[in-house]
Structure 1
């Protein structure tokens, strides 16, 4: 998978993709993340990427021309499964969306800024619009990085243990159960005996029960999606 991210401030994301699991995944050839500076596709000496909105009002709007030039340049080199615009009014990103996108090939993420992009860009190029929550950030870079992280970690070979991703919270619309590691007793608090029993079936049953109880307490809205209730 190749992920191209179009941004006004691409350096903001360099460190994020240059460490830990995301770095190892790229070095192993499982994924490639390429950052693009939108200002490289402008035609003015000032490298302008925004202008005032028609009709007035506060805030600036990202110009259509440099975005169109960048997207068309990328499309001339390869095919893309989705061209995604990160915007507060997009569909809310969730684990199912991450799962679906991880099965595809190449993706483009367009990071919004200011009051957003010229609507003609959305109408002409964008195939999917995503939000990571009901709040507004200074730009779409952090949101794009969050989505890319959630997608890349699902690609086979990126995680040392591929089954780890399959037992994450939200994969089955349940929150993950509590987890413990050494020592078996810490400041007088012991690990549940069942986890030390070595009985795999009973451990799995306990974890499932704990997932249900945790979901009931913290995210009861998810229970209806499980098909269990």
Structure 2
């Protein structure tokens, strides 16, 4: 089954009105060269509106987080899913490792955010992955099973027909370390296999992204793996040349 590559930039807590405009302008100059790849940028919440107005053709808007709440109310500092769709947001990250580790988001809360995203016609990018300690103690598959099952139990397997999964080994995020293509493929194959036990069609069509120090010089080797359909890019997405280099690697494999 053919799955279109997705290269998603997670800008994290970076950017300014000027810097974002310059970055998007540089990306716009080259987007025509990666027409066969879907490009996504996820700026900070305060920059969503301004970035949305400057998006080059072929680039879609994503958010980094949303509330699990489904109705407006007294939830200071939170962002309702409908507020994102109103700004033209199409994708939203849920369960990024930094949200889980720094802000204590449980598997259940991540699942609730996944459900809230889909209730507003947002495509959730579900982030899963293990820490170094968990990998070294052979718990990778157990962690992935737990994180995925939390969403399956709350939302059902059919919900993955309109979702993306990003495997991000926590030990490789922002550290300069990258899972080897063999390690990455093994984890992606496990995720697809787990979903396939419940619905083979959905498992075959869902896009699985790799996240964890992806760069132009390793993107081709990672994206060539059978079950890797693109990347969730952190630091490299803040440099137009790097982000586009990664996208071009995907483009070269899609033709």
TM-score, L = length of structure 2: 0.27
Normalized per residue, the structure richer in helix is 2
TM-score, L = length of structure 1: 0.29
Which structure has the larger Rg over C-alpha atoms? 1
